[in-house]
């Protein structure tokens, strides 16, 4: 059995080492950037509605299978925008069939890839 004084010493050492104060970082020595360009706006879009993910792509028959595990399924005939890294890369038209949380869609234009995000076309 460990002595209480030994446990007290170990706990005290751990607390003291964890309570170290941080010193402020010195200012950088590099030249300050002086540009007149406005700051770039972030490319963040709110999750407004149904957002899906491309599971599989059949290039020969020009259709994809979409996953909507976290959102509601789009309606039949709805146009969807396919995005990769925030840039629209394809357009789809939902045609069914529906199975649980997946649905198929025809490729109208572009080249979707598995993992791309889908949103309702505005």
Q: Which domain holds residue 113?
A: 52-120
* Per-residue pLDDT at 35: 60
- Determine, yes or no, domain membership for 13: no
The domain spanning residue 58 has which CATH number? 2.40.10.170
CA distance 73 to 100: 10
Rounded to two decimals, the pTM is 0.60
* Per-residue pLDDT at 62: 95
Q: In whole angstroms, what separates CA 41 from the centre of its chain?
A: 18
CA distance 53 to 118: 6
- Determine, yes or no, domain membership for 45: no
Query: Residue 4: what are its φ and ψ, rounded to 5°?
Result: -60, -35
pLDDT digits (tens, 9 = 90+) for 65-85: 999 988 888 889 999 999 998
DSSP assignments along 29-84, one per residue: -SPPP---SPPPPP------S--EEEEEEETTTTEEEEE-SSSPPPPTT-EEEEEE
| Total tally of structural domains belonging to the chain | 1
- Determine, yes or no, domain membership for 30: no
pLDDT digits (tens, 9 = 90+) for 14-67: 666 655 555 666 666 555 555 666 666 666 655 556 789 999 999 999 999 999
The more confidently predicted of residues 91 and 13 is: 91
């Amino acid at each position: 059995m460990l002595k209480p004084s030994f446990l007290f010493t170990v706990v005290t050492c751990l607390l003291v080492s964890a309570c170290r104060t941080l010193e402020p970082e010195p200012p950088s020595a590099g030249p300050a950037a002086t540009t007149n360009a406005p700051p770039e706006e972030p490319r963040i879009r709110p999750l407004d509605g149904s957002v899906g993910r491309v599971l599989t792509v059949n290039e020969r028959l020009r259709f994809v299978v979409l996953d909507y595990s976290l959102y509601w399924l789009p309606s039949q005939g709805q146009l969807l925008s396919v995005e990769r890294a925030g840039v629209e890369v394809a357009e789809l038209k939902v045609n069914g069939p529906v199975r649980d949380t997946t649905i198929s869609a025809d490729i109208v234009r572009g080249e979707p890839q598995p993992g791309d995000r889908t949103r309702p076309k505005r």
